[in-house]
Structure 1
Amino acid sequence: MKSCFLAVLFLLAFGSATCLGQEVFRLVWEEGKEASLLLSDRSQALAKRDSLAQAFLRQGYLEGFFSESRSGDTVLFAWAPGRLFGWKEIAEGNVPSPFVEKLGKPDLSYPAPYEWMELVLELAEDSGYPFAELRIDSIQVEGAVLSGRMDYQSGPYITWDSLTVAGNSKTKEVYVQQLSRLNPGTAFSQSDLEKAAQTLRKSPYFTLVGVPELTFQTRQARPIFTLQDRRFNVFDGVVGLLPNENEPGKVLITGEVDLRLYHLGGKGRDFSIQWQRLNVQSQSLDIRAKEAFVFRLPLDFQLGFSLLKQDSSFVNRSLDLDFGYRASDGAYLSFFTRRQAGDLISVEGFGSGQDLPSAIDYRWNRYGMGLDWDRLDSPTTPRRGLRIQGQFSLGNKKILENTGLPEEAYEGLDESSPQYQAWFSVEKHFFVKPGWGMWIRGVGALLENENLFVNEFFRVGGLKSIRGFNEKSFFAKSYGYLNLEQRLFLDQSSYLVLFTDLGVVQNPYANEKIDRPFAFGTGINLDTDGGLFSFVFALGRSNTQPLSFSYSRIHFGYLARF
Structure 2
Amino acid sequence: MLLSCCFFCAFGQNLNLKIYGASEVETLSIDSLNYQKKHKDLVSLENEINTSLQTLYKKGYLESYAENIKKINDSSFICKINLNNLYEYLEVFYNTKKDLLKDILRDKHPNPFTLKFSKTESTLNELNENIGNKGFPFIKLKLDNFKIKDKKTVTAYLVIDDTSKKRTINNIVVKGYEKFPKSFLKYYLKIKPKQTFNLNKIKKQIRALQSLSFASEIKTPEVLFTKDSTTLYLYINKKQSNAFDGFLGFGSNEDTNKIEFDGYLNLNLVNNLNFGESFKLLYKSDENDQKTFNANLSLPYIFKSPVGLDLGLNIFKKDSTFTTAIQCAKLHYQINPEQKFYSGIINETSSNLLNNTQTAFFDYKKNYFTIGYQYSKPQNNDILFPVNTLFYIESNFGERKQKNNTTKQSSQAINTFKIFNLNKKNSLYFKLSGAVINSRSFFENELLRFGGINSIRGFEENSLYATLFGVMNTEYRLKLNSNIYIHSVIDAGYYENEIINVNEKLFGYGFGFGIFTKSGLFKLNYANGKSEGQQFKFSNSKVHISLTTIF
Query: Which string of whole-angstrom CA distances, capped at 9 and with x for unpartnered residues, describes residues 129-150 of structure 1?
Result: 2222111122223555311111
Find out whether 1:426 has 2:416 as its counterpart.
yes
- Give the C-alpha shift of residue 126 in structure 1: 2.9
How big is each residue's C-alpha offset from its partner over 1:108-142, in whole Å with a ceiling of 9 and x where there is no partner? 23445544434433332332222221111222235
**1:139-184 superposed Cα distances (whole Å, 9 cap, x missing partner):** 2235553111111224221111332222257534554344322121
The residue that corresponds to 1:399 in the other structure is 402
Note closer, same or farther for the CA distance 1:364–1:111 as it changes in structure 2 (3 Å cut).
farther
CA-CA distance at 1:329 after TM superposition = 2.9
For the Cα contact (< 8 Å) 2:376–2:387, is it kept in 1?
Answer: no
**Where does residue 466 of structure 2 map in the other structure?**
476
- C-alpha separation between the residues in 2 aligned to 1:81 and 1:103? 32
CA contact (8 A) 1:182 1:192 kept: no
User: Contact 2:323 / 2:351 at 8 angstroms: preserved in 1?
Assistant: yes
Equivalent pairs counted in the alignment come to: 508
- Aligned equivalent of 2:274, options 266, 269, 285: 266
Is 2:116 aligned against 1:109? yes
Q: Is the 8 A contact 2:384 2:516 kept in 1?
A: no
Partners of 1:238 and 1:87 lie apart in 2 by 71
Amino acid at match of 1:336: G
Q: Which residue of 1 aligns with 2:141?
A: 134
One-letter amino acid of the counterpart of residue 97, structure 1: K
1:120 matched to 2:127? The reply is yes
Cα distance in 2, alignment partners of residues 201 and 161 from structure 1? 25
- Code of the residue aligned with 1:517 in structure 2: it is L
Deviation at 1:546, TM superposition (A): 4.3
1:365 pairs with 2:367: yes
SS for the counterpart of 2:434 is strand
Question: Does the C-alpha gap of structure 1 residues 345 and 61 become closer, same or farther in structure 2, counting only changes over 3 Å?
Answer: farther
User: What code does the residue aligned with 1:535 have?
Assistant: L
SS in structure 2 at match of 1:319: strand
Aligned-pair CA distance for 1:258: 0.5
CA 1:370–1:195 in structure 2 vs 1: closer, same or farther (change >3 Å)?
Answer: farther
Letter in 2 for 1:558: L
| Partner Cα distance (2:523, 2:274) in 1 | 29
Per the alignment, do residues 116 and 393 of structure 1 end up closer, same or farther by CA in structure 2, a change over 3 Å counting? farther
Q: Is the 8 A contact 1:286 1:306 kept in 2?
A: yes
TM-score calculated relative to the size of structure 2: 0.81
Q: Which runs of 5 or more residues in structure 2 are unaligned?
A: 1-23, 40-49, 73-79
Q: Would you say the 8 A contact 1:164–1:173 is kept in 2?
A: no
Counterpart of 2:92 in structure 1 is 90
The one-character-per-residue Cα deviations of 1:169-207 (angstroms, maximum 9, x if unpaired) are 753455434432212112222343023212112211122
The answer to whether the Cα contact below 8 Å between 2:352 and 2:362 also exists between their aligned partners in 1 is yes
Confirm whether residue 189 of structure 1 aligns to residue 174 of structure 2: no
d(CA) in 2 for partners of 1:206, 1:315: 39
For 2:448, which of 428, 438, 458 is the aligned residue?
Answer: 458
Q: Which residue of 2 aligns with 1:18?
A: none
1:389 alignment partner, SS class: strand
Q: Are 2:104 and 1:99 aligned?
A: yes
1:503 maps to 493
Change beyond 3 A, Cα 1:151–1:203: same
Contact 1:444 1:478 in 2 (8 A): yes
Q: Which amino acid aligns with 2:371?
A: M
1:226 to 210, 213, 235: 235
* Candidates 378, 384, 406, aligned match of 1:416: 406
Contact 1:429 1:440 (C-alpha < 8 Å) held by counterparts = yes
Q: CA deviation at 1:417?
A: 2.3
CA deviation map 1:314-339 (0-9, x unaligned): 11101110111011232111112110
Residue 8 of structure 2: aligned partner: none
Gaps of at least 5 residues in structure 1 are 1-28, 44-49, 71-77, 352-356, 402-414
Task: Tell me, yes or no, if the aligned pair for 1:520 and 1:540 is still in contact at 8 Å.
Answer: yes
Shift of residue 82 of structure 1? Answer: 6.2
- Given that 1:301 and 1:323 are in contact with CA atoms closer than 8 Å, whether structure 2 keeps it comes out as yes
Structure 2 residue aligned with 1:551: 540
The 1-side partners of 2:504 and 2:183 are apart by 51
- Contact 1:168 1:229 (C-alpha < 8 Å) held by counterparts: yes
Q: Does residue 516 of structure 1 match 2:519?
A: no
Q: Which of 312, 315, 320 in structure 2 is aligned with 1:312? A: 320
Matched, 1:387 2:390: yes
Q: How many Å apart are 1:81 and its aligned residue?
A: 7.4
1:339-378 aligned within 5 A = 339-348=347-356, 350-351=357-358, 357-378=359-380
1:276 maps to 284
Is the contact made by 1:214 and 1:221 (CA closer than 8 Å) also made in structure 2?
Answer: yes
Q: Is the alpha carbon distance of 1:430 and 1:280 closer, same or farther for their aligned partners in structure 2, counting shifts above 3 Å?
A: closer
1:395-426 deviations in Å (ceiling 9; x for gaps): 1221237xxxxxxxxxxxxx212211112233
Among 289, 308, 311, the residue aligned to 2:297: 289
Q: Secondary structure at the match of 2:106?
A: helix
Instruction: Say whether 1:438 aligns with 2:440.
Output: no
State the distance in 2 between where 1:534 and 1:53 align. Answer: 66
Q: Answer yes or no: is the 8 Å Cα contact 2:188–2:336 preserved in 1.
A: no
- Asked whether 1:256 is paired with 2:271, we answer no
Query: What secondary structure is seen at the aligned counterpart in 2 of 1:517?
Result: strand
What is the CA-CA distance between 1:542 and the residue it aligns to?
1.4
Q: How does the TM-score come out when normalised to structure 1?
A: 0.80
Answering whether residue 211 of structure 2 is matched by residue 202 of structure 1, we say: yes
Question: Does 2:549 align with 1:560?
Answer: yes
C-alpha distance in structure 2 between counterparts of 1:324 and 1:474, whole Å = 31
Structure 2 vs 1, CA of residues 173 and 215 (structure 1 numbering), >3 Å: closer, same or farther?
A: farther
SS of equivalent to 2:130: helix
CA apart distance, 1:268: 0.3
State the superposition RMSD in angstroms.
4.0
CA offsets, 1:431-467, max 9 Å, x none? 1112111211222322101112222222221111211
**Mapped partners of 1:375, 1:509: distance in 2:** 39
Correspondent of 1:488 among 478, 482, 494: 478
Q: CA contact under 8 A between 1:178 and 1:296: conserved in structure 2?
A: no
Match of 1:412 in 2: none
Q: Distance in 2 between matches of 1:477 and 1:313?
A: 19
Q: Does 1:531 align with 2:520?
A: yes
Match of 1:179 in 2: 188
Q: Is the 8 A contact 2:134 2:198 kept in 1?
A: yes
